[in-house]
Amino acid sequence: MTAVSQSKLPLKFRFDRQLWQRFVEIAQPYFYPPGPRSSIQFLFLILTQLVFVVAFTFFFVVSLALIGFQFAPKFFSGLVNEIIYLKFLSSLGKSSIEIFQNLLTYLPAYIFLVLLVVSSGIFYAYRRKLKGREKQWLVLGLLLFLAFIVSSLNVLISYVFRFIDNALNGRNPQVFWEFLWVYGITLVIAIPILISYRYTRRKLALFWREWLTNTFLKDYFSNRAYYELDSNAANTDIDNPDQRMTEDVNSFTTTILDLILDILDSILDLVAFTGILYSISTQLTIGLLGYVSIATILALWIGTKLIKINFNQLRLEGDFRYGMVHVRDNAESIAFYRGENLELSQVEGRLGRAIRNYDLLIVWLALLDIFQYAYNYFARLVPYLIVAPLYFAKQVDFGTIGQGIFAFQMVLSALSIIPTRIQSISSFAASIERLGMLYERFRQRETRDVVGSGIVNYPSTHFKVDGLTLNTPNAEQTLFQNLSFELTPPQSLLVVGTSGCGKSSLLRAIAGLWRNGTGTIESPDYTQALFLPQQPYMLLGTLREQLKYPNLRENVTDEEIQLALTTVNLENLSVRMGGLGAEKDWAALLSQGEQQRLAFARILLNQPKYVILDEATSALDVTNERRLYELLQSQDITYISVGHRPSLIDYHQTVLDLRSANHSGWQLLAAKDYQFAS
């Protein structure tokens, strides 16, 4: 599809249920297999894992507190008195032994123990349903645990600073140096944890990208979906599928983990620091919530605009890049036509559309910058305006000022994830839309293949076409109607007709590429058939790989390859190119006649039972053509040819003429009875 037609697509994007459904369709399969009610079970497992991590973190933090009492009893005594969910430690005694003994009678400890056991049991019960997805759940669980630990470290650091400030204000050097040592030890412990947390995030994103890309690639190459999704095809509404499976998948997996874990971090920080902030000032907490709520509404409005702009930018950048690749792949043809001025005009048009959309993106980003800068700078004044008067009135100590500002910034950051991340959220939403459309197209193809529509293809031991009416993919034209013929081994069929009558299209239908129409087609398995187009496909690889393609046989020796080259009159090709292991740009280096003879060598090496030739000898002289077709006949191969040369009749038993007297029908004749029109 061209960039112009794509730009006319009605695009209406917003944060709605459809966006959420597409997100779940893409994200869930990595962690839980799709199926009936699978989304509910997936969310249930997510909640179960959160419960497990919370329970495990509780015992982990208590263990650290017990260890901390041994090394810094003064600091940890003050700490547990300030944190509501650790106050039970201070009431149980000052020694670690007393705390441990009395912990055995503490009811919440048993509640968390039950939650730990139950959540573990649930995952054990679901082990079969996960179908080999245990690794991703383990890594995700580790990430959640590290997120809880990082949040706990932030709380710990806030109290360290508070105690240090109070020691400075009270001119108490002994307490100051003791707490400074605690801060140093905390940093030594915290830095490896923070690095591990970020490393694990990136590693899970990498695992996820690999899995999701491979999943899309399997769908892309399954049943030749890549053919239907060709950006040049007139019937596709999926632009640049290659870009969606590379850039968009990478953006999705990286952004989703960053976003979800940042949201989790924000929730943990919100829970941890709201209590601290509320203990300092109720007015400060309420004012902060109102301030952030208004900012979030404005950010969502701006973000809705940015989603469509980002979506268009991804599409237009892909169109521009595809235009440049198209010029590179067809450089010689363009040069022969002297078409560089027209190509330049088309490429500049694609670039211009991308630039104009990006210019619009810059305008909206500028508005977003104004909003975010104003939001952040004005927010810095609020804690000073509220906490300073409390200190002057001697209602709080000096260390509370620093801790209050720190807590305010943490809560502000937690509540501001939408206002501050709206650009990445908008880009992420655009990626969801693009991947979701591609995913839905793959699923529609699966449903179509199961239910069946249009032309029906059946596997068979020979070719048989019954009542075939073939339309072009966009259904704008009917090529022929009610066509029927049968070809049993070792028969051969020549298809002739005027240009545009549907000769090559018939081969596409036999190969299962075109299915728009009615009728049935029986054809052999693809592993037994070989297709030779007029312009042979030259893959990126060595000369040896070119000749063995598409590898229908294993263990083909170099001696067989050289013999095949000699048989098709290319005996010197290997020496001239530097050996069978030479890797070159074969499409540019070999003439079309050499490429067509190389394609015939593939027949000798792959030994198919059936061959379909679409003007496969059009670039050869009559002598070489006779040599290759006699080679086909000697191999006892059933073949179908499309061609225009009268000389081809000599190598076929039957002729299918799609060019009838009134140009509306077809006729099937014995080759000896057919005469080419002059």
Structurally, at CATH architecture level, domain 3-16+205-449 sits in Up-down Bundle (1.20)
pLDDT value for 15: 56
CB contact set of 258 (below 8 Å; sequence gap of 6+): 201, 205, 424
Q: Give pLDDT tens digits for 361-383.
A: 888 878 877 877 777 667 667 67
Separation between Cα atoms, residue 325 and residue 628, nearest integer Å: 35
CB 229 within 8 A of CB 445: no
What are the C-alpha distances in Å from 385 to residues 162, 267, 378, 403?
A: 19, 26, 11, 15
pTM of the model: 0.66
The residue with greater pLDDT, 342 or 135, is 135
pLDDT value for 626: 92
pLDDT value for 5: 39
For residue 76, give the H/E element and its range: helix 73-82
pLDDT value for 563: 93
Long-range CB pairs of 78-83, under 8 A, 24+ apart, other chains included: 78/159, 78/163, 79/156, 79/159, 82/159, 83/155, 83/159
Q: Tokens 């404005």 — which residue? A: 298
The two three-digit tokens of residue 407, written as one number:
């807590």
- Percent of the chain with pLDDT strictly greater than 70: 79
CB contact set of 444 (below 8 Å; sequence gap of 6+): none
The residue with greater pLDDT, 566 or 404, is 566
296-307 mean pLDDT = 73
The two three-digit tokens of residue 128, written as one number:
């079969």
**Where in the sequence of the chain do the CATH 1.20.1560.10 domains occur?**
3-16+205-449
**Which CATH superfamily, name and number, covers 456-524+609-673?**
P-loop containing nucleotide triphosphate hydrolases (3.40.50.300)
Separation between Cα atoms, residue 590 and residue 326, nearest integer Å: 20
Separation between Cα atoms, residue 607 and residue 224, nearest integer Å: 23
The two three-digit tokens of residue 502, written as one number:
């549907």
CB 307 within 8 A of CB 13: yes
Residue 268 has pLDDT above 80, yes or no: no
**Length of the chain, please?**
678
The residue with greater pLDDT, 428 or 313, is 313
Residue 86 has pLDDT above 80, yes or no: no
**Where in the sequence of the chain do the CATH 3.40.50.300 domains occur?**
456-524+609-673
pLDDT bracket for residue 3 (50, 70, 90): very low
pLDDT value for 80: 63
pLDDT bracket for residue 11 (50, 70, 90): very low
Largest CA distance in the chain: 115
pLDDT value for 280: 67
CB 518 within 8 A of CB 566: no
pLDDT value for 362: 87
CA-based nearest residue to 330, from 242, 191, 232, 190: 232
Backbone angle region of 95, left / alpha / beta, with phi > 0 → left and psi within -120 to 50 → alpha: beta
pLDDT value for 79: 65
Per residue in 145-175, is it b (16+ CB within 10 Å) or e — as a string? bbbbbbbbbbbbbbbbbbbbbbbeeeeeeeb
pLDDT value for 364: 83
pLDDT value for 346: 86
178-189 mean pLDDT = 78
CB 145 within 8 A of CB 56: yes
pLDDT value for 593: 92
Using DSSP bridges, classify how beta strands 667-670 and 654-657 pair: parallel, antiparallel or unpaired.
Answer: antiparallel
115-122 mean pLDDT = 93
Residue 646 has pLDDT above 70, yes or no: yes
153-170 mean pLDDT = 74
